[in-house]
């Protein structure tokens, strides 16, 4: 839908609709902001005033005469103070602090608010300080901006799921089921998913021999990526798997390493590597051979060839090269790598794995500078690390991983948590209790803290991520059930784990800690085994997930893009501050752009903003100031583009999308 599809009423801009008190002028208006003011004074600078909102949101765009430089050291402000005027400045009514600015431009009472992260915007000082439009380069890709995920020039909190079977579904003629997964996820507010850019099945291998690819498997991946794009879901894609043989580490070593002297032990039904069913001699042989993947130059070259093939692939459906597709949030270099040191002959593994991460991370960026790169590791602490004692079991320090050293070479850090698989007793999994983060954020009395492995696991990774200045994504977590369809077990065992985990993530986000998102394991896709970790749509756990995803999505939409990114030329994708112009289920549903709200928001709450500044002092309209305060109070939502605002299905302003 193009911008021309939005039917609006055009009216002349009032000569001086707000009439701010005369503020001391500090010289000529500079840059794009001056151009904006000049534009609005010409006949072509007419304001779009349709749908009852734009006429009051865009009376004029003017820049501050004087930009305050005081640091924002104050707490969250109310929607308005006793001197603020109503959102419809023409009515002269005061703003009720218990009301929010409704989608139709009127004040509406509501008890639903968000705790918008305090001082989040301090992380973008250089970009914000200019307080002018179009002073910053916008990119459609998710980036890292000073320790946080950044999408459309504002914070982004990846929230969603893992579903490794999606390509299998697409390859077996079940494309509508792939669409249904993403559609349902988006309807609940999820924004991200993780799957494989490699196959794990002999039936649908991506790579049939070194450098030879099967189009059936790759076209299935094409469909998965295109479907995610159509539904507004970002994807994390892993290049290779540690556990499955087909297109995994062990098959690569069979292709690139020395010839076998012992026949391969084939796991039942192509399952994960299982050391408990192999002989001691077979385990030792396979462990030594597996480690060669991180050392042999021929194996490194084969991996790089695969990176070339995937990042340079042209999607057969939408024509985009993978490396140019904003749908992709990030690449995982490998899913849960192992280079085990329990055998003395593998003592070189930790250093080799860390070097491998750096080399391959640099290589991926050289081929695809647009997307983020992450390790895909569980996040075990290596031998000698100060946090080694926080590992689930002693064997974890012998996997070759070292969370801090490995992630120094990544764009963001990841951690996985499998307490059931790691044989952590249920009674010791108390770290998922709601108080788990108290010791890290609130300095609670240690004698009153609820202990448990998972509390310490997450807290230790928060601290480690902070020490290297990286955001942390809780990339895999789940709760195993022996009877996955037992509704009582789901409610009593899984729901509390998910709920407390999400509370921890939300708490970290609210306190500006680096834990900025989570992906649960796993979406139970229809027609395939649910397994002990799968979550069905009708499981009560899905209600817990939906509640969290909705909160995280609303937190993202409580912050407008930085002013420096606002107003690029593309009409339908114009970055700005887009608001719904009607109630969610109204007959006529549209979105309107009010970019001045971005200026108001960052002048008030940016790193050098002044929350107590008035419209007169900033030379901004009372309308924009009121909307900025409503955003900061978490009482109204803003979207970066019209496409985002009008997106149907749950991630936009209207469940059914725009129709005007």
Q: How far is CA 615 from CA 85, 94, 141, 277, 620, in A?
A: 10, 14, 34, 72, 5
The verdict on residue 446 lying in a domain is yes
Q: How far is CA 389 from CA 80, 169, 381, 453, in A?
A: 49, 41, 8, 11
* Same domain flag for 220 and 116: no
Tell me if residue 161 falls in helix, strand or coil. strand
The verdict on residue 574 lying in a domain is no
Report the pLDDT value the prediction gives residue 78, as an integer from 0 to 100: 23
* Same domain flag for 383 and 263: yes
Tens digits of residue pLDDT in 19-30 = 222 223 333 222
> 426-444: string of b/e by CB count within 10 Å (b at 16+)?
eeebbbbbebbbbbbeeee
Task: Provide the token pair at 437.
Answer: 């983060």
- Ramachandran area for residue 220 (φ above 0: left; ψ -120 to 50: alpha; else beta): alpha
Question: DSSP string spanning 511-574?
Answer: TT-SEEEEEEE-B--TTS--TTT-B-TTSHHHHHHHHHHHHHHHHHTTSPPPGGG---S-STT-
Report the pLDDT value the prediction gives residue 270, as an integer from 0 to 100: 57
Within 8 A by CB and 6+ apart from 374, the residues are 236, 330, 331, 332, 333, 410, 411, 412, 413, 414, 473, 475
The verdict on residue 426 lying in a domain is yes
The verdict on residue 562 lying in a domain is no
Residue whose entry in the numeric block shows the structure tokens 């993947």:
293
* Same domain flag for 116 and 156: no
- Ramachandran area for residue 152 (φ above 0: left; ψ -120 to 50: alpha; else beta): left
Q: Which residues of the chain are under the pLDDT cut of 70?
A: 1-114, 118-131, 268-275, 425-452, 568-573
The verdict on residue 644 lying in a domain is no
Report the pLDDT value the prediction gives residue 293, as an integer from 0 to 100: 98
Tens digits of residue pLDDT in 239-273 = 999 999 999 999 999 999 999 999 998 876 556 66
Report the pLDDT value the prediction gives residue 500, as an integer from 0 to 100: 83
Q: How far is CA 470 from CA 148, 306, 407, in A?
A: 7, 27, 9
Q: In whole angstroms, give the CA distance from residue 250 to residue 511.
A: 42
* Same domain flag for 380 and 465: yes
* Same domain flag for 387 and 532: yes
* Same domain flag for 173 and 229: yes
* Same domain flag for 179 and 73: no
Q: Is the previous residue joined to 522 through a cis bond, with omega within 30 degrees of 0? A: yes
Domain of 487? Answer: 145-556
* Same domain flag for 51 and 151: no
The distance from CA 59 to its chain's CA centroid, rounded to whole angstroms, is: 35
The distance from CA 108 to its chain's CA centroid, rounded to whole angstroms, is: 30
* pTM of the full structure: 0.81
Question: DSSP string spanning 91-111?
Answer: T-PBPPTTEEE-TTSSEEE-S
* Same domain flag for 230 and 377: yes
User: What CATH code is carried by the domain that includes residue 222?
Assistant: 3.20.20.80
Q: In whole angstroms, give the CA distance from residue 47 to residue 377.
A: 52
* Same domain flag for 113 and 201: no
For the chain, how many structural domains are there in total?
2
The verdict on residue 199 lying in a domain is yes
Q: In whole angstroms, give the CA distance from residue 257 to residue 293.
A: 8
The verdict on residue 589 lying in a domain is no
């Amino acid at each position: 839908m193009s911008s021309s599809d939005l039917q609006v009423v055009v009216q002349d801009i009032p000569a001086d609709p707000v009439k701010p008190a005369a503020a001391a002028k500090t010289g000529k208006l500079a840059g794009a902001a001056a151009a904006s003011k000049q534009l609005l004074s010409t006949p072509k600078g007419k304001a779009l005033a349709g749908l009852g909102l734009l006429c009051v949101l865009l009376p004029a765009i003017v820049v501050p005469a004087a930009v305050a430089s005081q640091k924002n050291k104050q707490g969250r402000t109310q929607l308005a103070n006793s001197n603020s005027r109503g959102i419809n400045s023409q009515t002269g009514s005061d703003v009720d602090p218990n009301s929010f600015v409704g989608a139709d431009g009127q004040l509406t009472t509501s008890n639903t608010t968000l705790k918008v992260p305090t001082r989040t915007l301090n992380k973008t000082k250089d970009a914000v300080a200019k307080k002018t439009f179009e002073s910053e380069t916008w990119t459609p890709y998710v980036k890292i901006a000073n320790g946080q995920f950044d999408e459309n020039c504002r914070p982004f909190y990846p929230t969603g799921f893992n579903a490794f079977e999606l390509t299998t579904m697409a390859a077996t003629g079940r494309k509508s089921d792939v669409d249904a997964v993403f559609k349902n996820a988006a309807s609940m507010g999820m924004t991200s998913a993780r799957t494989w850019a490699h196959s794990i099945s002999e039936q649908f291998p991506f790579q049939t021999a070194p450098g030879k690819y099967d189009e059936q498997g790759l076209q299935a991946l094409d469909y998965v990526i295109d479907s995610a794009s159509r539904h507004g879901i970002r994807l994390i894609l892993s290049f290779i798997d540690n556990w499955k043989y087909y297109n995994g580490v062990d098959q690569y070593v069979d292709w690139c390493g020395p010839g076998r002297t012992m026949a391969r032990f084939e796991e039942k039904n192509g399952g994960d590597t299982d050391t408990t069913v192999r002989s001691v001699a077979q385990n030792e042989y396979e462990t030594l051979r597996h480690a060669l993947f991180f050392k042999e130059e021929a194996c490194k070259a084969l991996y790089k060839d695969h990176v070339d093939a995937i990042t340079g692939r042209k999607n057969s459906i939408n024509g985009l090269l993978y490396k140019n597709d904003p749908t992709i949030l990030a690449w995982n270099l490998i899913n849960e790598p192992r280079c085990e040191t329990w055998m003395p002959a593998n003592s070189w593994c930790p250093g080799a794995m860390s070097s491998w991460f750096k080399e391959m991370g640099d290589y991926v960026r050289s081929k695809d500078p647009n997307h983020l790169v992450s390790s895909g590791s569980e996040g075990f602490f290596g031998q000698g690390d100060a946090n080694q004692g926080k590992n689930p079991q002693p064997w974890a320090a012998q996997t070759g991983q070292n969370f801090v050293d490995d992630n120094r070479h990544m764009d963001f850090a990841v951690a996985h948590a499998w307490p059931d698989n790691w044989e952590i007793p249920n009674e010791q999994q108390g770290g998922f209790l709601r108080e788990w983060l108290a010791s890290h954020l609130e300095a609670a009395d240690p004698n009153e803290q609820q202990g448990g492995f998972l509390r310490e696991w997450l807290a230790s990774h928060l601290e480690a991520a902070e020490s290297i200045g990286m955001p942390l994504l809780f990339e895999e977590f789940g709760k195993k059930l022996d009877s996955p369809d037992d509704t009582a077990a789901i409610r009593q065992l899984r729901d509390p784990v998910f709920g407390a985990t999400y509370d921890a993530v939300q708490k970290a986000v609210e306190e500006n800690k680096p834990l900025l998102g989570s992906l649960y394991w796993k979406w139970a896709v229809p027609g395939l085994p649910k397994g002990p970790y799968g979550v069905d749509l009708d499981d009560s756990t899905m209600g817990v997930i939906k509640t969290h995803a909705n909160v995280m999505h609303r937190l993202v939409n409580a912050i407008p893009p930085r002013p420096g990114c606002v107003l690029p030329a593309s009409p339908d994708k114009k970055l700005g501050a887009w608001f719904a112009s009607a109630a969610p289920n109204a007959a006529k549903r549209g979105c309107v752009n009010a970019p001045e709200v971005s200026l108001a928001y960052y002048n008030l709450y940016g790193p050098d903003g002044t929350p107590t500044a008035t419209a007169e002092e900033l030379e901004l309209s009372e309308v924009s100031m009121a909307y900025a305060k409503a955003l900061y109070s978490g009482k109204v939502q803003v979207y970066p583009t019209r496409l985002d605002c009008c997106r149907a299905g749950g991630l936009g302003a209207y469940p059914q999308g725009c129709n005007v």
